[in-house]
Amino acid sequence: MTAPVAPETAARTLHATKGHGTQNDFVLLDGRTGVDLGADLVRALADRRAGIGGDGVIRLVASADLPEGAAVLAEDAAATWFMDYRNADGSIAEMCGNGVRVVAAYARSLGLWDPADGELVLGTRAGVRRVREVEGPAGELWYAVDMGTWFLPGGEQAAADGFDAQVAVAGLDVPRPALSVDLGNPHTVLALAGEAELDAADLTRAPAVEPVPPHGTNVELVVPLGEERDADGAALGRVRMRVHERGVGETRSCGTGACAAALAVRAWAGPQAPDVWLVDVPGGTVRVSVLADGHVELAGPAVLVADLDVDPTALAG
């Protein structure tokens, strides 16, 4: 870990990096500079007209420097770095699947992680996440994240019924049954009849979920597209998804949301359903796999597009 820069330097210029994972975009900050991530600064950086623009702001910070870091260090002492994730509205979220991949690319660019040395062990507010470099379907660089365990908040009854909530979406005629899925952060998944309905949904307004989730929720609209075979002949499910994110609005991708969507569709499909799913989102495609140990894995690209020097006084103005 390099020494923090002097506070007076940090006040003059804020160094930021812009990155995205399937177009879920983030402003990335190096916590070693001592940047204090208040909600006002998050909103100003995420502003698409007066700031840099992003669905979220992520500070990569030493776990030892955050109160929440103690829990992840107790879980795994190797989790020396922590993903301090904030939504564009300034709210704190427990987890961000695309964010973990983008943080991996960021940590690599800062010289904090080399995939040749093994997995990146990263602290998050949902616990430790492990990242490794993998090959994408076209041989491109992807990152795979072990997203850990997941559960249905509605329990066995929801698993049996296939739903535990109702969601009204602008542009769709009637409220639809939906399934709550917890990936460390909350999700509510509803299946639509077809792609025409998916295109008709108006996500400029937040869907209305009943019963109202106590901490809000991310809402995924999905259309199952059936099964295909991978190069080795193994079954592969495919779904198309749009998402309305808590604390953001409609985004072009959501990694935890893609996991929730695949897990819900898999639950609806029954015991013969595939363990591996391709999830098509407006910003690209990610792969979700249910692993033998019951964990879920998210794989997809991560891209860093710019390094920026930001004048905090201009942002504030």
Ligand X SMILES: N[C@@H](CCC[C@H](N)C(=O)O)C(=O)O
Is 259 an active-site residue? no
Query: According to the annotation, is 24 in a ligand binding site?
Result: yes
Is residue 188 close enough to count as binding ligand X by CB under 6 A?
A: no
Look-up: residue for tokens 């904030």?
86
Q: Are 194 and 233 in contact (CB under 8 A)?
A: no
* Beta-sheet pairing, 176-182 with 165-168: antiparallel
Which of positions 219-248 make contact with ligand X (CB under 6 A)? 245-248
Helices marked H in the chain: 7-12, 39-46, 69-75, 97-109, 155-161, 195-200, 255-269, 312-316
Q: Determine whether the annotation assigns residue 19 to a binding site.
A: no
Active-site residue 96, yes or no? Answer: yes
Flag whether 195 is marked binding.
no
Asked if 98 touches ligand X (CB under 6 A), the answer is yes
**Torsion of the alpha carbons at 44, 48, 51 and 55, rounded to the nearest 10:** 60
Give how many residues touch ligand X by CB under 6 A: 18
Q: Is 22 in the site for ligand X (CB under 6 A)?
A: no
Question: Is 246 annotated as ligand-binding?
Answer: yes
Beta bridge partners of 188: 180, 219
Q: How far is the CB of 235 from ligand X (least distance, A)?
A: 25
Per-position DSSP letters for 122-154, written without gaps between them: EEETTEEEEEEEEE-TTS-EEEEEE----B-TT
Q: Which of residues 144-173 bind ligand X (CB under 6 A)?
A: none
Q: Which of 79, 103, 254, 258 is the catalytic position?
A: 254
283 binds ligand X (CB under 6 A): no
Does 185 appear as a known binding residue?
Answer: yes
Binding mask 42-61 for ligand X (x = CB under 6 A): --------------x-----
Point out which residues bind ligand X (CB under 6 A): 24, 56, 87, 93, 96-99, 185, 218, 245-248, 254-257
Residues labelled as active-site residues = 96, 254
